[in-house]
Amino acid sequence: MPDFSFVAVVVGLIYLAAFACIYRILLTYRTAQGAIAWIIGLVGLPYLAVPLFVMFGRYRFGGYVKVRRMGDERLTSLLNRFEQQTTSIPKPASERFEDELQVLCKLGRQPFTDGNQCTLLRDGAATFEALFEAMEDARHYILLEFYIIRSDRVGQRIKSILERKLAQGVEVWFLYDDIGSVWLPRTYLDQLSAAGARVASFGNGNIRRRRFQINFRNHRKLLVCDGKVGFVGGINLGDEYLGTFIDQEPWRDTHCRIEGPAVTGLQLAWLEDWNWASDQQPQLDWTSADIPPGKDEVLVLPTGPADDWETCTLFFLNCINNARTRLWIASPYFVPDLQVLNALQLAAMRGVDVRILIPEKSDNRLIRLAAYSYLVQACKAGIQIYRYQPGFMHQKVILVDDRYSAVGTANLDNRSMRLNFEITAVTTASHFLSSVEAMLKEDLDNCRLMTEDDYRQRSILFRLGCRASRLFAPIL
């Protein structure tokens, strides 16, 4: 016979944990709908909802906030000093333009800097060639941070270069996300460590700060060499971007190379993440080049769940609400929340050319289905949704009028806007905008324009599946 007193204690503890979760929800909830859904689950099915809430329920990366604000005075000083630099954006005839860009500076706590040279890297082949060259040219240190790192041909080439540079006395600091890189063999990391690289995983943080925070992921992809040259964009370290698998087209993705003062912004974002993941303190170069390599104005915008605001959401809303003639967005995942969808609808209704490029083929079936559920609402407002046909389009690119563009890691979904650590480079450089425009026009030539009929004429089971998938939007 079971010991009913023991069962009663267990049940009581489960409900106590459920009410503790509800207490936390009431103090910190982001939306009423989400809070109500969690509370119903915790009251009705606490045995299931409590562990799910522990894994997925929190929306702030609390430990990171403490490390950022209090854990390292030197890091805080560097952040404050760079943030307080006078922005390079001149006062144009339209003060609205000035205000719009100043908002981005405040969101990222970083200034626009001039004197940069920003180069668009349109695919995996161009990106890897540039990454390899920059690492080969490094003389002092190499900082890497990627969501996915594979031990395939690209990954082995990276490791080979790093081991060679370590033998030459170049320091290597290697940061990866343990969820994104879950299949990366331990031997790969051990061999790098044995060669002298400092290796850290973002997910756990150091041993004093470990928390079960599986829902938060470091989705950033960046490389910095000697504090002078940096890279940011959507490309991870893997062969899929080269299409080397049999019967597979290469993933369509975009990166950019930055040389100049804006690299300090990339380096600061990397250092914040490294400071969370490890107690080791690298000595980095914080001086800009004596002779600026170019004239481009660039802002580096890090976003994530440790920010005071929903920075990534506000970034998208700022772009959408201030677009006047054109707003082109390429994203592999299109699962916007209501406020972003409403902003897109309003932009289209006021005459802005709103085009959303998403892939026909996806690596996530739920997200692909959920995207269909937005089709009718989007088309009725005049939003044009294009599905890229060849391969899997994975790029994250925004073009706002003829005024500025952005290349980074943030998708048009809830996970990027609220749960992931992301990073984006924004530039006003006309030559870069022209390159982005030409690239997106070429992509559009490889797209199919969707209509309401793509949803309405499908079977009822398909439409139900789309609507059901959309319910999972908060965690997709």
Catalytic pick among 159, 165, 177, 219: 219
223 close to 276: Cβ distance less than 8 angstroms: no
If we measure between CA atoms, which residue out of 377, 398, 402, 379 comes closest to residue 324?
A: 402
Task: Name every residue whose Cβ is closer than 8 Å to that of residue 222 and which is 6 or more positions away in sequence.
Answer: 143, 144, 145, 146, 230, 231, 232, 266, 269, 270, 423
How many CB atoms are closer than 10 A to CB 311? 23
Check pLDDT > 80 for residue 75. Answer: no
Distance (Å, whole) CA 288 – CA 384: 42
Please tell me the distance from the alpha carbon of residue 425 to that of residue 421, in angstroms, as a whole number. Answer: 14
Q: Which of 401, 328, 380 is nearest to 358 (CA)?
A: 328
* Choice between 278 and 396, residue whose per-residue pLDDT is larger: 396
Contact 197, 109 (CB under 8 A): no
Task: Name which of 387, 373, 393 is nearest 452 in CA terms.
Answer: 373
CB 232, CB 225: distance < 8 Å: no
Tell me the average pLDDT across 54-75: 60
What is the tens place of the pLDDT at every residue in 331-353? Answer: 999 999 889 999 999 999 999 99
% of the chain residues with pLDDT over 90? 54
Q: pLDDT tier at 207 (50, 70, 90 boundaries)?
A: very low
Q: Which residue has the higher pLDDT, 352 or 99?
A: 352
pLDDT at 419: 85
pLDDT of residue 111: 87
In whole angstroms, give the CA distance from residue 412 to residue 415: 9
Per residue in 118-136, pLDDT tens?
A: 999 999 999 999 999 999 9
- Summarised one tens digit per residue, pLDDT across range 6-42 is 777 777 888 888 888 888 878 776 666 667 777 888 8
Side-chain half-sphere exposure of 474, counting CA atoms within 13 A: 13
Catalytic residue among 177, 337, 401, 413: 401
pLDDT at 391 (0 to 100): 87
> HEC states along the chain?
CCCHHHHHHHHHHHHHHHHHHHHHHHHHCCCHHHHHHHHHHHHHCHHHHHHHHHHHCCCCCHHHHHHHHHHCHHHHHHHHHHHCCCCCCCCCCCHHHHHHHHHHHHHHCCCCEEEEEEEEECCHHHHHHHHHHHHHHCCCEEEEEECCECCCHHHHHHHHHHHHHHHCCCEEEEEECCCCCCCCCHHHHHHHHHCCCEEEECCCCCCCCCCCCCCCEECCCEEEECCCEEEEECCCECHHHCCCCCCCCCCECCEEEEECCCHHHHHHHHHHHHHHHCCCCCCCCCCCCCCCCCCEEEEEEEECCCCCCCHHHHHHHHHHHHCCCEEEEECCCEECCHHHHHHHHHHHHCCCEEEEEEECCCCCHHHHHHHHCCHHHHHHHCCEEEEECCCCECCCEEEECCCEEEEECCCEEHHHHHHEEEEEEEECCHHHHHHHHHHHHHHHHCEEECCCHHHHCCCHHHHHHHHHHHCCHHHC
Query: Per residue in 422-452, pLDDT tens?
Result: 999 999 999 999 999 999 999 999 999 999 8
Q: Which two tokens stand for residue 144?
A: 């890497």
Q: Tokens standing for 197?
A: 């690289």
401 is annotated as an active-site residue: yes
Q: How many CB atoms lie within 10 A of CB 19?
A: 14
Sort strands 222-225 and 141-146 into parallel, antiparallel or unpaired.
antiparallel
Give the model confidence (pLDDT) of 216-240 as tens digits. Answer: 889 999 999 999 999 999 999 999 9
Question: Averaged over 82-108, what is the pLDDT?
Answer: 69
CB 393 within 8 A of CB 190: no
pLDDT at residue 68 tops 80: no
pLDDT more than 70, % of the chain: 84
Active site residue 380: no
Encode 196-224: b = buried (16+ Cβ within 10 Å), e = exposed: ebbbbbbbebbeebeeebebbbbbbbbbb
Rg, Å, the chain Cα set: 23
Active site residue 239: no
Give the model confidence (pLDDT) of 285-342 as tens digits. 887 666 778 899 999 999 998 888 899 999 999 999 999 999 999 999 999 988 999 9
Averaged pLDDT score across all residues of the chain: 86
Write down the catalytic residue from 159, 165, 221, 255: 221
Q: Which of 159, 165, 255, 394 is catalytic?
A: 394
Q: What is the pLDDT of residue 362?
A: 82
Residue 140 falls in the annotated catalytic set: no
Residue 396: active-site member: yes
Residue-level pLDDT at 87: 59
What's the start-to-end Cα distance of the chain, in Å? Answer: 44
Identify which has the larger pLDDT, 263 or 204.
Answer: 263
The active-site residue, picked from 159, 165, 255, 396, is 396
Higher pLDDT among residues 130 and 111, named by residue:
130
Q: What is the mean pLDDT of residues 257-272?
A: 94
Catalytic-residue membership of 273? no
Does residue 60 have a pLDDT over 80?
Answer: no
d(CA 330, CA 440): 8
pLDDT at residue 395, rounded to an integer: 97
The verdict on pTM exceeding 0.75 is: yes
| Domain architecture of the chain: domains with CATH | 4-56 (no CATH), 62-299 (3.30.870.10), 311-475 (3.30.870.10)
The reported pLDDT for the residue numbered 209 is: 47
